Structure 1
């Protein structure tokens, strides 16, 4: 691999088959697009096959309408030994107007794996700009919060049994 690509934007047209019962694009369709963009971003950075380990904090802030041009932007904001935290923004617009509006945001964690499915090392990403440093710190804070939530969920499961 000669160079890493840190970010990518995928574009889709929202189709009638993507509609939910309310007439808007189904959240599952948006989640599929998010997963595709996260994979493309992670593979571009690591140069390896990657799997989704976590998708969280998904916020659906505005509907996507059938016929909208949807842009799913993915960017590496933190790397571990084999994992990459990818920030995802989904924007949509009428293709005749091209006035993008944020519809969805989330963080996805992808893990690079080898031929037998075991985690494998990836290049480290080092933030350079103040904005990138803030994004990395945000990813670290979210990682710590997920650990606390995981511990609480484990305790909950024990109580539920």
Structure 2
């Protein structure tokens, strides 16, 4: 079987959208859920463009909303595949907003979506291997490896940690809680 390789640049997608009053939350800022929906769409587009097939979202790493987005600002999202496994891809997304009157640009958030390639029957499908062509590609790939390994370590700890031990329960008392078990 021939191994297919693709460059990171073959996955890059940029979208921009003007934020409207219909996108606001109760405080008048753009609703975080709306931004997450757009992020999921661009992650799908980047992963599908790269893999050449339908993709689904498997997980989303931390999304920290760094700056609020205002009505009338132009939101731009940039996405690319940063890492590939056998059937999965990690898509990095950067979200910025621009006040189109002043030109001021804010970094609003960054996140990483793990997408899985699917065939027509819904089975996982192998994805092309990745060609890294710049130091930025290498940095993003290595950071993805770091996040993947941290998640594995976290999951391993979750499996072995006994939440019911007297020591664990005693350790909880330093937090703002009361145990009534």
- Which of residues 43, 50, 53 is equivalent to 1:48? 53
Structure-2 separation of matches of 1:87 and 1:70: 16
Shift of 1:154: 4.4
Structure-1 separation of matches of 2:154 and 2:20: 36
Matched, 1:35 2:40: yes
- Runs of at least 5 residues in structure 2 that lack an aligned partner in the other structure: 1-5, 165-181
Matched, 1:142 2:144: no
- Runs of at least 5 residues in structure 1 that lack an aligned partner in the other structure: none
Match of 1:95 in 2: 100
Secondary structure, aligned partner of 1:125: strand
Match of 2:117 in 1: 112
Structure-1 separation of matches of 2:106 and 2:54: 31
Secondary structure, aligned partner of 1:149: helix
Shift of 1:51: 0.3
Q: What RMSD, in angstroms, separates the aligned Cα atoms of the two structures? A: 1.8
Matched, 1:18 2:5: no
Aligned residues: 157
Cα gap change, 1:25 to 1:154, in 2 (>3 Å): farther
- Which of residues 87, 92, 108 is equivalent to 1:82? 87
Matched, 1:121 2:126: yes
Matched, 1:63 2:68: yes
Query: Cα deviations across residues 69-94 of structure 1 (Å, max 9, x unaligned)?
Result: 10011011111111111110000012
Shift of 1:96: 2.6
Q: Which moved more, 1:47-56 or 1:9-18?
A: 9-18
Query: Cα deviations across residues 107-147 of structure 1 (Å, max 9, x unaligned)?
Result: 11111101121110111112121221111010001001111
Structure-1 separation of matches of 2:19 and 2:124: 34
Secondary structure, aligned partner of 1:58: coil
Query: Cα deviations across residues 39-84 of structure 1 (Å, max 9, x unaligned)?
Result: 1101111110000011112111100011111001101111111111
